Structure 1
Amino acid sequence: MKVSPNPNKEYISLALGDPTHYGNFKIHENCVDAVITQLKSYKANGYVPSVGVESARIALAKKFSTEEAPLTSEDIVLASGASDALSLAISVLCNEGQNILLPRPGFSLYQTLSESKGIECRYYNLLPDRNWEIDLDHLSSLIDEKTACLLMNNPSNPCGSNFTRQHLESILSLCEIYKLPVICDEIYEDMVYGGNIFYPIADLTKTVPILKISGLAKRYLIPGWRVGWIFIYDYNNILNEVRAGLASLANLILGANSLISSALPDMITNTPQSFYDETNKSLEENAKLSADVLGKIPGLHVIVPQGAMYMMVGINIEEFKDIKNDIEFSEKLVQEESVLCLPGKSFHYPNYVRIVTTAPAEKLNEAYQRIKEFCARHHV
């Protein structure tokens, strides 16, 4: 969008998926202390193994291993953030000329990474009237002999949805039928609220190979520290070549951030549960505020979020007299009210906008009041 905000109104961005942007979501002091300890040790300044610091991989295996889905350090590859982990996973599972199944609406980076590697993107629909569950019939219709894998995101950016156990099991059943491995982006794992429960997909299968993507960025509120990971779940030795391929691809960046990787065991072991609980409580309060206020504005309809830090808001285009689509809605909103939301087209889903709900309550209230006034001016 090439528009300028209204110079007479304070600019409020509800577009950036960075929980640190407004300063109200803060990292726990234990994480800061862990980094300071490593800095003062002078032992975390050099190159590290390309697949990641061994102590970090051991700590991650210990923390995230479950009876249903056990892990060892050999099942873990560290990367430069979850985005780099996604790049590695897509590269290792997909060859040029194959296709990958991506969610619609979905995070735009999936397309960018895939197309940069000569992989065709095929988009399966998510269903807003079912809390953004996957349309499994539509997904099935996209699969052919060149389909390399399914990429899914749970909890979801941009939808703020969280799949039920039953729906995850239905997805796995389909993957079993078509022999599809899964890349599951779970960077927002456990960031759910409203009585919802997050189920790691790897806990629900012993047959479908899973590459789980996650990292420190969102749960620890440190997206700039750039440490993510891949967990390899492969109980039938289907991914032996993939393991070797990931180790080779990891050499492209010569390992993740040495300082943060070395601090990681202390961070994930000693950060208290109260930190995660307070973060989720704040996210839930902001989500409720957002849904309550925006849901009452004529011309808009909301899908109440269940997790992460996003909400998709539908625009009833036929109710506006001089707005033709989500791009025009977003541009005029910036020009008139200095409020920025990302248009749904950014996620392959027109006539919606995505709202990031991490701003302080007073900022959200101010932005939503302006959106209300904007909609009133343009409503039929």
Structure 2
Amino acid sequence: MENGTVNGYEMDTPKNITIKGILSLLMESIDGNNHSRSVISLGMGDPTAHSCFHTTHVAPEAVVDALQSGKFNGYAPTIQVPSLFLLSLGMSSMLSIVVIINPGNPCGNVYSYQHLKKIAETAEKLKVLVIADEVYGHLVFGRNPFVPMGVFGSIVPVLTLGSLSKRWIVPGWRLGWFVTSDPSGMFRNPKVVERIKKYFDILGGPATFIQAAVPGILELTDEVFFKKTINILKESSDICFDRLKEIPCISCPYKPEGSMAMMMKLNLSLLEDISDDIDFCFKIAREELVIILPGTAVGLKNWLRITFAADPVALEEALGRVKSFCLRHSKQFES
């Protein structure tokens, strides 16, 4: 795909495509039309769009308490700003960094203890630190339990990125944190943490009263809330994986074991008038009112990403529409 228009919309080259940008264009392509069916979006990983997903009552109550206390109306101190910028740490000996995303997005993979330990040991041999993106931490429902990378801090220093967004179903709060796991004190000599904090000095950070609510949210959330979320995600992922088996032009090579999304390979040779993944997504949006993220947006041309953090009934309906669309556009082969 080159600069120009796709289905009547201005598009940039793949390197400039953003997830939010292309999802907005997909929604715009069906806005203003009269339809008897509702639009079902499986493109953005936002479970709050579906009534079956709710955050725990603890979260808003903690925010209200912090706000009404009147103690958090000023600027936040540096140490509370939960963002991480690693543009330059001033560490001449640190030539590379190992980044682990676990549970994975967009494939839903969950690494085993043994695999993560090997990564830690390899990083130690290479004398590099590990950044562990665990925004989807604990949202697992497969054979592998979630293992925090920080448990290997005695082998290699680990910076863990965490967030309220997914596990607590509040992505709009935009609040996260980083934690260092470094019992051997390997961060102290190059002053990694101190240099990171200097970057925080130039950041405004999330609202102070939401930051102040975090301790209460972490301490008081009942385990039942987490189990309910995981059960819905498992049911939805099973529905998604099973229904996709009924669609010849789409294949899902890996059944998700965590997070909220899966990747599907698009077989264009079985479709008559679909040029690529972006063309597929625009046409299905217009014809079936289903929003799917083209793989190009995450660097995988002619793949598709579906977010299964959706109401199971709506998901069944959406996948039925996907099947109808693919059958309608399938090539007719001579016998």
* TM tier, smaller: 0.7 to 0.9
Q: Which moved more, 1:178-187 or 1:317-326?
A: 317-326
In the alignment, is residue 337 of structure 1 matched against residue 285 of structure 2? no
Alignment of 1:284-363 (within 5 A): 284-302=234-252, 303-363=254-314
Return the offset for 1:146. 8.2
**What RMSD over aligned residues (CA atoms) do the two structures have, in Å?**
2.1
- 1:182 maps to which of 130, 151, 157: 130
Which amino acid counterpart does residue 29 of structure 1 have in structure 2? H
For residues 294 and 68 of structure 2, what CA distance do their matches in structure 1 show? 45
- 1:40 maps to which of 68, 80, 93: 68
For residues 229 and 347 of structure 1, what CA distance do their matches in structure 2 show? 24
Structure 1 residues 354 and 18: alpha-carbon distance in aligned structure 2, compared to 1, 3 A threshold: same
Structure 1 residues 93 and 377: alpha-carbon distance in aligned structure 2, compared to 1, 3 A threshold: farther
Structure 1 residues 372 and 202: alpha-carbon distance in aligned structure 2, compared to 1, 3 A threshold: same
Return the offset for 1:205. 4.4
For residues 358 and 255 of structure 1, what CA distance do their matches in structure 2 show? 27
Give the secondary-structure state (helix, strand or coil) at the position aligned to 1:20. helix
Return the offset for 1:359. 1.8
* Equivalent residue number for residue 261 of structure 1: 211
* Equivalent residue number for residue 281 of structure 1: 231
- 1:160 maps to which of 101, 105, 108: 108
Structure 1 residues 45 and 23: alpha-carbon distance in aligned structure 2, compared to 1, 3 A threshold: farther
In the alignment, is residue 25 of structure 1 matched against residue 53 of structure 2? yes
1:271-324 residue CA offsets vs partner (Å, 9 max, x unmatched): 110000101111111111111111221111112110011111111222222223
* Equivalent residue number for residue 216 of structure 1: 164
For residues 28 and 199 of structure 1, what CA distance do their matches in structure 2 show? 23
For residues 282 and 302 of structure 2, what CA distance do their matches in structure 1 show? 13
Contact 1:93-1:148 at 8 Å conserved across structures: no
Give the secondary-structure state (helix, strand or coil) at the position aligned to 1:148. coil
Which amino acid counterpart does residue 376 of structure 1 have in structure 2? L
Return the offset for 1:345. 1.2
* Structure 2 runs not aligned, ≥5 long: 1-5, 10-25
For residues 327 and 301 of structure 1, what CA distance do their matches in structure 2 show? 17
Which amino acid counterpart does residue 192 of structure 1 have in structure 2? V
Which is richer in helix? 1
Q: Which has the larger radius of gyration?
A: 2
For residues 254 and 360 of structure 1, what CA distance do their matches in structure 2 show? 35
Contact 2:94-2:127 at 8 Å conserved across structures: no
Return the offset for 1:335. 2.4
TM-score of the two chains, using structure 2 as the length reference:
0.83
Alignment of 1:181-200 (within 5 A): 181-200=129-148
Structure 1 residues 245 and 335: alpha-carbon distance in aligned structure 2, compared to 1, 3 A threshold: same
* Equivalent residue number for residue 197 of structure 2: 247
1:124-168 residue CA offsets vs partner (Å, 9 max, x unmatched): xxxxxxxxxxxxxxxxxxxxx984212221111111111112221
Contact 2:153-2:183 at 8 Å conserved across structures: no
Return the offset for 1:94. 7.8
Return the offset for 1:254. 4.4
* Equivalent residue number for residue 221 of structure 2: 271
Contact 2:295-2:304 at 8 Å conserved across structures: yes
In the alignment, is residue 5 of structure 1 matched against residue 30 of structure 2? yes
Return the offset for 1:93. 4.2
Return the offset for 1:256. 3.9
Contact 1:49-1:255 at 8 Å conserved across structures: no
For residues 121 and 203 of structure 2, what CA distance do their matches in structure 1 show? 36
TM-score of the two chains, using structure 1 as the length reference:
0.74
Identity of aligned residues (%): 33
* Equivalent residue number for residue 3 of structure 2: none
Structure 1 residues 45 and 285: alpha-carbon distance in aligned structure 2, compared to 1, 3 A threshold: same
Alignment of 1:50-69 (within 5 A): 50-52=78-80
Contact 2:295-2:303 at 8 Å conserved across structures: yes
For residues 92 and 200 of structure 1, what CA distance do their matches in structure 2 show? 25
* Equivalent residue number for residue 186 of structure 2: 238
Return the offset for 1:363. 1.5
- 2:174 maps to which of 215, 226, 248: 226
Divergent runs of 4+, >6 A: none
